[in-house]
Amino acid sequence: MVTDGEAIEVLTDRLTLRPMPPAAAALLPGQRAACADLIGAVLDDAWPLPDVRGVLARQAVSTPGAAPFGIWTMVEQASPIVVGDVGFHGPPDDHGVVEIGYSVVPSRRGRGYASEAVGGLTRWVLAQPGVTKVVAGTVPGNGASERVLEKLGFTRTEPMPGENRWASSGRQ
């Protein structure tokens, strides 16, 4: 598993994915310039989006070893601007399952960044000891998010009230 103090970075074709340092999460949403300095990238005006704002407090108190199972920033390599986030709802459960979530700022949607980030982070997490499967949830009618998961080989599982559920095929 990930150890304290270990620097982690996942590179995709156009993105650099990094776990958000707890100290950076503690600075948001108010202290954007200080957060940008800690992350080492410019923050898009729309980031963080509302869905990730709700979990910043949890990321802010995570230990360095647990931070990789929380929020990761998506940094566009060409700019370098934080264009979204991807990450997990926590460490693997007793069956080795982790849940992934993701969002891209409106100005960068439609470029394949979500697919790139989810694919890269899914490959990374499935290579971690004890992780056997990645699951995800989508709001019914969110076709773009569902296409991301379908493209990456996730299959639809039993829905929950107000949410479609997806699962990876396991180790890839």
- Model confidence at 42, pLDDT cuts 50, 70, 90, reads very high
Residue 3 reports pLDDT greater than 60 = no
Tell me 47's DSSP state: P
Specify if 18 maps to a domain: yes
Count the domains in the chain.
1
Specify if 74 maps to a domain: yes
Report the CATH number at residue 115.
Answer: 3.40.630.30
Specify if 129 maps to a domain: yes
What's the pLDDT at 101?
Answer: 97
Mean pLDDT of 159-169: 93
Specify if 2 maps to a domain: no
Rounded CA separation 57/143 (Å): 29
Range of the domain at 108: 10-167
Which residues 6+ apart lie within 8 Å of 52 measured at CB? 71, 85, 103
Specify if 24 maps to a domain: yes
To the nearest whole number, what is the mean pLDDT of the chain? 93
Cβ-contact 3, 65 below 8 angstroms: yes
Specify if 4 maps to a domain: no
Specify if 41 maps to a domain: yes
Q: Structure pTM?
A: 0.93
